[in-house]
Amino acid sequence: MTVTDVQIALYEGFDELDAIGPYEVLDNAATFGADIDVRLVTLDSTAVVTASHGLRVEPDGTLSEPDVLIVPGGGWNDSSEKGARTEAERGDLPDAVANLYSEGGMIASVCTGGMILAHAGVLDDRPATTHASAIDDLREFTTDVRNERVVDSGRVLTAGGVTSGLDLSLHLVEQIADKTTADRVAAEMEYERRAAYRP
């Protein structure tokens, strides 16, 4: 059996739930038999990453060439020196996203992680969403902005604010494994799923 390699890209100032929520969903799916390996990674080797609310996380390694890359948001609107806006402006993470997409990988974002995808160019001329507070910023790109919780446009998936990352990752579980496994994970986590929008 082929194991789907899912990596969640951490950076200084990422929002905790944007990354940890999908991690827990995907790890639970693996526990229930789905062929998924999920890891928390960074672009550069580092011992600890500090999230937006102060949670300190030890990443599992550095970004390689996953089947699926999930990019969390955080720190877009408060103009902090750490977070998604800083990462988008720095350019290294958007470049990595663009490269992975060009090599055939699936790219997903949670919350304002969608703005990093926009800066990578992978949301050009496709339907997508982001956190409500960043929707106007997303409209500055050629993105077909949708007011949806999760948008599935093929190899690019985007989710709105924070908790929508649970819906996105459950949607991924259904794609990688099956609906039964996704429903089982949702039941285990006592979470009521919401369907993704598919154009």
Is residue 171 a part of any domain in this protein? yes
Is residue 143 a part of any domain in this protein? no
Residue 162 contacts residue 15 (beta carbons within 8 Å): yes
Q: By residue range, what is the domain housing residue 82?
A: 4-108+163-188
Residue 80 C-alpha from the chain's centroid: 20
Is residue 48 a part of any domain in this protein? yes
Is residue 119 a part of any domain in this protein? no
Q: What's the CATH code of the domain at 79?
A: 3.40.50.880
Nearest to 63 by CA among 24, 128, 31, 107: 107
Is residue 127 a part of any domain in this protein? no
Residue 101 phi, psi (nearest 5): -65, -45
Place of tokens 């496994």: 181
91-126: pLDDT as tens digits? 999 999 999 999 999 999 999 999 999 999 999 999
Is residue 85 a part of any domain in this protein? yes
Is residue 75 a part of any domain in this protein? yes
How many domains does the chain contain in total?
A: 1
Instruction: Say whether 62 sits in a helix, a strand or coil.
Output: strand
21-36: pLDDT as tens digits? 999 999 999 999 999 9
45-96: pLDDT as tens digits? 999 999 999 999 999 999 999 999 999 999 998 877 899 999 999 999 999 9
Residue 62 contacts residue 42 (beta carbons within 8 Å): yes
- Average pLDDT score over the chain: 97
Is residue 140 a part of any domain in this protein? no
Contacting residues for 78 by C-beta, under 8 A, at least 6 apart: none
Which H or E run includes 137? Answer: helix 135-138
Q: Residue 153 corresponds to which tokens in the numbers above? A: 């446009």
Residue type, position 133, single letter:
S
Predicted confidence band at 149 (pLDDT cuts at 50, 70, 90)? very high
Helix axes 179-188, 16-31, angle to 10 degrees: 120
Q: CB-based burial of residue 95 (10 Å sphere; 0-12 exposed, 13-18 middle, 19+ buried)?
A: middle
